[in-house]
Amino acid sequence: MSEVTIRKDLSILEEMGCLIRTRGGAQMAEDTRLLRPIETRQAERLAQKRAIARKARTLIAEGETIYIDAGSACLCLAREIRDMNLRVVTNSIDVMVELANRPAISLFSLGGSYRKEAGSFIGPIASEALKSFQIETCFLGTTGLSRRGVFSAQNIIESQLKQAVLSSSARRIVLADSSKYGRDAFSVFARAGDVDILVTDDEFEDAKNLNSFGIEVVIGEIVPAPETDGHAEPAKNEASG
Residue ranges of domains in the chain:
38-220
pTM of the model: 0.80
Average pLDDT over all residues of the chain: 85
User: Per-residue pLDDT for 24 more than 70?
Assistant: no
* pLDDT tens, residue by residue, 136-153: 999 999 999 999 999 999
Query: Does residue 52 contact residue 200 with C-beta atoms inside 8 Å?
Result: yes
Query: Yes or no: is domain 38-220 CATH 3.40.190.10?
Result: no
Burial class of residue 107 (count of CB atoms within 10 Å of its CB; 0-12, 13-18, 19+): middle
CA distances from 61 to 86, 88, 137, 192, 197 (A): 8, 12, 10, 25, 16
* pLDDT tens, residue by residue, 55-71: 999 999 999 999 999 99
Confidence (pLDDT) at 129: 97
Confidence (pLDDT) at 236: 41
Which among 124, 126, 84, 83 is positioned nearest to 108, based on CA atoms?
126
